[in-house]
Amino acid sequence: MSILRTNQIQDTGTNVAANISGGTVTFSNTPNLSTGAMTNAPAFEAQLSSNQTFSDNVATKVAFDNKIFDTDGKYDASTNYRFTPTVSGKYFVYLLISVNANANSELQNMYTMLRKNGVEYKVAHMNFSANNARFAVATLNAIVTLDSDDYIEAYVQGADSSGSPLVQSGVYSTFGAYKLIGV
């Protein structure tokens, strides 16, 4: 590849880019990045392999133990159930938690919580007041800045009028994140 005096870049005789003005570059062919520098990794997605019961109205870490994918092996699905990307940047994090009460009209409220380094970072809350539910789904999305040793975890809390609620497994509850490019 050589840079021409006309501010054009050539590769094997084909004009692939031209500097028009003010630093704006236009491409005559779709650019292809072969260095791997522009990637949404590390990234992961995990679900529960079975329902998880938790104590009534107590914040509890959700044990997302079934990896759907984990591009760089940065999600611990066996002990801490946390994502530690080890690559600094901004990450899009998504969390879907479905809570099931023991019977109809017993779920009084629920919280879906994202924690960064053990501290509450974002919370989605549903309160059913005098109209209790049986089943509820709370989603949470966030852009989180993480450095090389930061980690994120998913927590749930719910009040069941007659006992302990549970987090529904499989596609009903999902936790994931991926690195954003260009921010």
Tens-place pLDDT, residues 120-167: 999 999 999 889 999 999 999 999 999 999 999 999 999 999 888 999
Which tokens go with 55?
Answer: 């104590």
Q: What is the pTM of this model?
A: 0.80
Q: Is the pLDDT of residue 38 over 80?
A: no
Q: Is the pLDDT of residue 49 over 70?
A: yes
In order of their start, the domains of the chain are: 1-29 (no CATH), 43-179 (2.60.120.40)
Positive or negative, the CA dihedral 120, 150, 47, 77 is negative
Nearest to 133 by CA among 169, 172, 100, 173: 100
What is the signed CA dihedral for 58, 74, 50, 107, rounded to 10 degrees?
A: 30
